[in-house]
Chain A
Amino acid sequence: MIDLLTYHQTKQPQHWRSLDELADTPEFRRFVDAEFPTLTQSLQSPHSRRQFLQLMGASLGLAGVVGCRWPEQKIAPYSAGIDNRLPGVPVQYATAMDWAGGAVGLLVTSYDGRPIKIEGNPQHPASRGSTLAWQQAAVLGLFDPDRSQSVVERSAGRPYRRSWDDFTAALSPILADNRTRQGQGLVILTEAVSSPTLLEMRSRLIQALPQARWLEYSPVSRDAEREGLRGTFGQPLRAQLHLDQAAVIVSLDDDFLMMHPMSIAYARDFAGRRRVEETTADRPMSRLYVLESMHTVTGAAADHRIALRSQDILPALARMIVQLHINLPAELKSGIEKLATQESPRGLKPELLKHLVDDVLTSKGAALFTAGANQPVIVHALVALVNQALGHVGRTVTYLTDPQPERPSHVDAILQLATLMDAGQVETLVMLGGNPVYDAPAELKLGDLLNKVKISVHLSLYEDETSLCCGWHLPQAHFLESWSDARSWDGTVSIVQPLIEPFFGGRTAAEVVALLLGEQPLKSYELVRRTFGGEQFDETRWEQALHDGVIAGMASPPVTVSGHQASLAETATIFTKAIEQWQAPSSSNFELVFRPDYRVYDGCWANNGWLQEMPDPMTKLVWDNAYLMAPADAQTLGLTNGDMVMISQGDWGLGLPIYVVPGQAAGSITVPLGYGRSAAGKVGNQVGQSGYVLRNLSGMNWRNSVTLTRLNQHRPLVTTQDHHAIRSVIGEQENAQRLGMLVREATLTEYQHHPEFAKHVVHHLPLISLNDEHQYPDHKWGMAIDLNACIGCTACHVACQAENNIPVVGKSEMDRGREMHWIRIDRYFKGEPEAPEVVHQPVTCHHCENAPCEPVCPVAATTHSHEGLNDMVYNRCIGTRYCSNNCPYKVRRFNWFNNAKKLSDLEQLRVNPEVTVRSRGVMEKCTYCVQRINAVKIAAKNDQRPIRDGEITTACAQACPTQAIVFGDLNDPHSAVAKAQARSRAYAMLAELNIKPRTQYLAKIRNPQETDAPRSHEKVEKH
């Protein structure tokens, strides 16, 4: 037998690509460095180099041969079973995800070891079984082939693939040096941390290296509220809203239904007070006032929405305070009075303000004021004072301790870091997550400052903008691959347990800190067990915690608060400053407001195709961001959607197309953050433009007096509604006329007067059929969608996409109107463009009993099941698209191309095996999640029991934070869906077509002030 090793060593390479290669010259080495950074290492050792070259030669020679065969894939069966696992039977594990500064508890469905679907954890207070779109989309991020796949060292601008051992080896002398200097020159920067284990690691690090600095920065956070509460009560606190207790809610620019770490729970509580059938005399339907600059999801849910510039919120609040006769500390009193006597902010109608004040006063402590993350500290401080003065504290709002009371605010932290770096005091910078080079205020020029740092390390899921500026990039373990823990906004702690081994050898932040400390144990599991161990945390409790997804008895208790004199004085100075900064509105003076985006948030979701393709709840934009502008401003400036403008201040400028949003405050322009990534990955790169370019330390929330220059360019924006602007006058008129028939709504008074109003909007002849109609003796699946509960958050879109393997088609296909979502949310504006009312209407297949799609299919590919489902038989479909043409709801989706072909091997692992992946040329649509129905039916049949109500939920219904969607068996009169459809508000959209849709809507009820100008009562026909 030939000794292979000697053979390799003695033989010369047989193939070479150039003479340089044959000679192994330094030029060739450099070339390989640049071209194949990972190969340099193997080329440097003569042994493996030869092997490599031989392989290379063989691959060159065999390149032609490869094409002769299909690629072989081997499937190996389990030769031995694994405990507690039945192949093909999905298992759910509880875990938690950090999002927007707090954890959300999740249940992740794992199929044969592959996590494929995320649901909310019903036991977790921040989730209650529901999710928003971000949680749903997280699973796609796990299987993202663009994630960084190895440790990378960068030197002289060139990347070299390294191993974790290389990193440890390279770092150890530096760390040793650090240790001798007690951590002098070592700075750790993390994103917002909620993990108790990581905080534990932090205290260990500070203990071991007292001179080291640990800073925390997130571009979007609720630090202003924290500081405001510190200003009022003398300690940093978190506000916890109790929307189920609030009869009157006043939101000052607070998008609490979408952009709060507790949003899911808040949305649930809010919707609970909006279900008009569940209200009582002492728990009346709540009334929501929203004062805001951008038209948010919360604003769309408001009964009275007042569009104000962000900086006009403070004067408006001052007026409220005066009218509410709140006794303020003397330090603030004069300022408030001064503000309140100023010219009224544009858009604030005195009579509406009076209504608001009356409402708050009559609700006697059951009101609630809340301010948004985008509002300055002073607004939060004043809101806290108001809540305290009116007795809301303890009833509609409670205050919780902050888990890290001593940490500087995020803005301060990043400024500190930049100052230290600039002064050359940072030798070693370890960044655990985050992407500060991209999302820190641009004026800090963090990317340049990183050059002054000797050793810079970045742990991250992607080799992103920050990684590219650092000496070392470390791959981070996705939360679905890691052991960790997380704390929700209300203090509840959950264990984060992995669903799968890290794909690319990633590690958690805690592991990296352990590595820095040279500590044992190194493994994240042990690190977490160290935090949750010891006597009080025995194996049983641990198992229970893992099983439940929450650790009982760890939520923060509410603290009692009282005004704090010293801090109030400080607040007064901030207040004076804030008043000085206020600028009167004028036609040439715009404020530019920075907001996290409803899809990519602060930019960390930029490489997620599901989110990029999810229509923005309000603008319906996809795959782009834009300057959101008020209709009046656009008209004055003569701009239309897609016209490029440059907004600049000082040296910084940013060109983006504008998008006119009804309800945007005049004088205020919003730019959603999180776009314009250059190193996000294939999906997220170069989508939109980065708003961070214009953000600076003094203008983290908004910048005043920006200059707006018109660029004579046009960049078409892609939306899923109003494709290509069918903005003919006639279309707009028709839209307005037809809306009342499609989305039925009334005010509370109207409803009380005429509860059956929704059934009398459209009158038609008796709906009879010439043929014998289907009979449904067993089950009769149906759905009810409560328009009063739906806030338009669009979680259902992504939930459906994840459950049903719905492909991502990309911007150009979206532009052609080829979105594939099985559920869509139609958003309609009503009334004046300056102060519109908004309705969100989720539309999905209605599973009509007389389905118009069924008779027209020439090959009978869409047929009726005996349970009333309108089934789609993919392998029978030849793709005439006639069914779609005949569908009055236009919910059918056609596979114009082979969308599945684009999935990489890694992405294919995420595909739900219960749902067919559709080939090109076939029609698809909502199935009412037939795979879930059948799974439960089979289980029930095996157990010989009837199916319980609520046992079957569709993916959209399960995700819905407000439980607006209810699914079940209409044959069971006690089922939630049957009860919902029996309500007086229930109506079937387009019932007059005699299609007998199985999905019904519950009409929307608004609760405006009764003394308001009479709202088109005459529209509702009385009988």
Chain B
Amino acid sequence: MATMPLKNTMIDNTVEDPRQRAPLVLGNHDFTTVTETICRIPEASRPPQAWYIAFAVSSTLTLMLGCMVVYLISTGVGVWNLNNPVGWGWDITNFVFWVGIGHAGTLISAILFLFRQKWRTSINRFAEAMTIFAVVCAGIFPGIHVGRVWLAYWLAPIPNQMQMWPNFRSPLLWDVFAVSTYATVSLLFWYMGMIPDLATLRDRARTKIRQFAYGLLALGWRGSNRQWLRYERAYLLLAALATPLVLSVHSVVSFDFAVSQLPGWHTTIFPPYFVAGAIFSGFAMVVTLMVPAREFFGLKELVTPRHLENMAKIMLATGCMVGYAYSIEFFTAWYSGNVYERFIFMARAMGPYSWAYWTMVCCNILTPQLFWFKKCRTNPWILFAASIFINIGMWFERFVIIVSSLATDFLPGSWGAYAPSWVEICTFIGSFGLFFTLFLLFVRFLPMMAMAEVKSVMPQALHKQGEHQGLGDYWGDMPRGHEHKPGGHDVHH
């Protein structure tokens, strides 16, 4: 197992130098060392002890989630503290929270890909994995929150003896389609992007099992020119397909609220507001996971401060959008003259849930303001702390929207209040357990970074292909760069 000696130690690649593109891989890396750095993590015979501890904790929490779900399904949704005015509480809050987190992956893979943001290469695999795991967690909540879970399949448009279609007018049904499509495309995108790297792992495998398993997953990838051609076409197509999904899934999730006529939900601003919030929270979660991971697995040269800074900038931008949405909601409520709308916003700020509202405002509006300062953008631990706050804030955003609107709607006679039961709390904590369990399995067995793609943004990629001088630079055209490469040139170092 080779560890790379860092000869020219970290240069600051966050400095904007107009004369040259900032390097995206630091250290004295060549293709071999990149492969080594990334592959040694899944190839280690035993993961570090910390992995075991983390896995023990997270799998225990997953078990708790399982118990909570079994308890819920065997007893009834009543084990949660939902009530008559507040029909949705932590369940849907958690759903929207996790779906929101699941936004960053596809955004990074697809949109940044189409926009030729080469810095995405170091984080896209990681973020896509996070997306999928977040969507898994998200999918649990609407699945189990229904009263009769065993009939939840009625949501699918399956021909049946009742000759009943689901109600295509219902935003919840759109949700089913949106989220399941998103999950499918994200999974495909993630998996397809991983095929060359899986082939690398297969080729490096030292045991039969690993060879077989990675071989199976690599689908016979040989790195031939033709394969690369097809691969990159498909990748581009999937990216194009995933791009509208990034925007649609959270827009559709927001329709759950916007299409209803409940004050506080019935707002046309929701789709862009939710998408911005989702990107905001998604990036925050990527940072939350990436900062310790790069530290822990020695990936600082691949996930450089510039990567972190770019993510901070996106968080600053989306955080400001979210802040704008918060304020424009108040303006609209006031300007509309709708008494119910006005009250619900007053109640959010000054009513029984004001503590949640102000938590949300502090976390989501004030925290990203730190990112105006370069030090905060580039210091991983400040970023890490800020991202945690943003995660908290974004959870509260969904809580405030869902619960405060439901608790005090039109008729004061039916106003109510809601606080979670222990089952809801444990289920939410358990969903983090599931998320981290999946994540720990991912870092243990799969390449955490897209090796092939990282290599393509390294200077070496440029020098090797004379005919494409100038294309491999920072703003270059990455996929086309591959098309003309001799087959599988860099995979087998």
A residues whose Cβ falls under 8 Å from a Cβ of B = 721-724, 726, 728-731, 734-735, 737-739, 741-742, 813, 816-819, 824, 826-828, 841, 843, 852, 855-860, 876-882, 884-886, 888-898, 919-923, 990, 993
Name which of B3-11, B108-116, B145-153 contacts chain A: B145-153
Q: How far is the CB of B94 from chain A (nearest CB, A)?
A: 15
B128-146 contact mask (Cβ, 8 Å, vs A): 1 or 0: 0000000000000010011
Provide the bound-state CA to CA distance between A306 and B54, in Å: 69
B residues whose Cβ falls under 8 Å from a Cβ of A = 75-78, 81-88, 142, 145-149, 151-152, 154-155, 162, 164-167, 169-173, 176, 256, 259-262, 339, 343, 346-347, 350-352, 406-418
Contact indicator A897/B351 (Cβ below 8 Å): no
Provide the bound-state CA to CA distance between A1003 and B142, in Å: 42
A-B contact pairs, 12 of them (CB 8 A): A723-B417, A726-B415, A730-B346, A742-B412, A819-B84, A827-B413, A881-B88, A882-B172, A890-B410, A890-B414, A920-B148, A921-B147
Contact indicator B261/A843 (Cβ below 8 Å): no
Contact indicator B155/A878 (Cβ below 8 Å): yes
Q: How far is the CB of B7 from chain A (nearest CB, A)?
A: 60
Contact indicator A741/B164 (Cβ below 8 Å): no
Contact indicator A857/B350 (Cβ below 8 Å): no
Contact of A990 among B166, B262, B407, B410 (CB under 8 A): B410
Contact indicator A859/B87 (Cβ below 8 Å): no
Residue ID in chain B nearest A722 by CB atoms: B415
Contact indicator A735/B412 (Cβ below 8 Å): yes
Q: A921-B146, A922-B148 are in contact. Are A860 and B167 (CB under 8 A)?
A: yes
CB-CB < 8 A to B176: which residues of A?
A: 858
Contact indicator A856/B410 (Cβ below 8 Å): no
Contact of B352 among A728, A818, A880, A990 (CB under 8 A): A728
Provide the bound-state CA to CA distance between A622 and B201, in Å: 67
CB-CB < 8 A to A882: which residues of B?
A: 87, 170, 172, 256, 260
Chain B interface, >50% SS class: loop
Contact indicator A730/B76 (Cβ below 8 Å): no
Contact indicator B411/A826 (Cβ below 8 Å): yes
Contact indicator A886/B262 (Cβ below 8 Å): yes
Contact of A922 among B78, B147, B350, B406 (CB under 8 A): B147
Contact of A734 among B81, B86, B152, B343 (CB under 8 A): B343
Residue ID in chain A nearest B347 by CB atoms: A730
Contact indicator B167/A884 (Cβ below 8 Å): no
Chain A interface, >50% SS class: loop
CB-CB < 8 A to A884: which residues of B?
A: 84, 87
Provide the bound-state CA to CA distance between A315 and B385, in Å: 72
CB-CB < 8 A to A885: which residues of B?
A: 87-88, 260, 262, 406
Provide the bound-state CA to CA distance between A894 and B173, in Å: 20
Contact indicator B166/A858 (Cβ below 8 Å): yes
CB-CB < 8 A to A894: which residues of B?
A: 77, 82, 84, 87, 147
Contact of B84 among A724, A876, A877, A890 (CB under 8 A): A890
Provide the bound-state CA to CA distance between A826 and B414, in Å: 8
CB-CB < 8 A to B408: which residues of A?
A: 726, 731, 734
Q: A731-B412, A884-B84 are in contact. Are A737 and B339 (CB under 8 A)?
A: yes
Q: A819-B84, A881-B82, A921-B76 are in contact. Are A888 and B147 (CB under 8 A)?
A: no
CB-CB < 8 A to B352: which residues of A?
A: 726, 728, 731
Q: A738-B412, A817-B417 are in contact. Are A856 and B172 (CB under 8 A)?
A: yes
Contact indicator B413/A841 (Cβ below 8 Å): yes
Contact of A738 among B171, B339, B406 (CB under 8 A): B339
Residue ID in chain B nearest A827 by CB atoms: B413
Q: A890-B411, A922-B147 are in contact. Are A879 and B347 (CB under 8 A)?
A: no
Contact indicator A897/B78 (Cβ below 8 Å): yes
With A818-B84, A858-B176, A894-B87 given, can you name 8 additional A-B contacts, CB distance below 8 Å?
A852-B260, A858-B166, A859-B155, A878-B146, A878-B147, A890-B409, A894-B84, A896-B76
Residue ID in chain B nearest A819 by CB atoms: B84
Contact indicator A876/B87 (Cβ below 8 Å): no
In order of increasing CB-CB distance, the 5 nearest A-B pairs are A879-B147, A921-B147, A826-B413, A896-B78, A817-B83
CB-CB < 8 A to A735: which residues of B?
A: 412
Give the residue among B339, B407, B413 with the most A Cβ atoms within 10 A: B413
Contact indicator B410/A888 (Cβ below 8 Å): yes
CB-CB < 8 A to A892: which residues of B?
A: 84
CB-CB < 8 A to A880: which residues of B?
A: 142, 145-147, 172
Residue ID in chain A nearest B78 by CB atoms: A896
Contact of A856 among B171, B339, B406 (CB under 8 A): B171
Provide the bound-state CA to CA distance between A855 and B152, in Å: 18
Contact indicator A857/B170 (Cβ below 8 Å): yes
CB-CB < 8 A to A855: which residues of B?
A: 167, 169-170, 259
Provide the bound-state CA to CA distance between A897 and B75, in Å: 7
CB-CB < 8 A to B415: which residues of A?
A: 722-723, 726, 731
CB-CB < 8 A to A876: which residues of B?
A: 154, 162, 164
Contact indicator A879/B146 (Cβ below 8 Å): yes
Provide the bound-state CA to CA distance between A721 and B176, in Å: 35
CB-CB < 8 A to B81: which residues of A?
A: 816
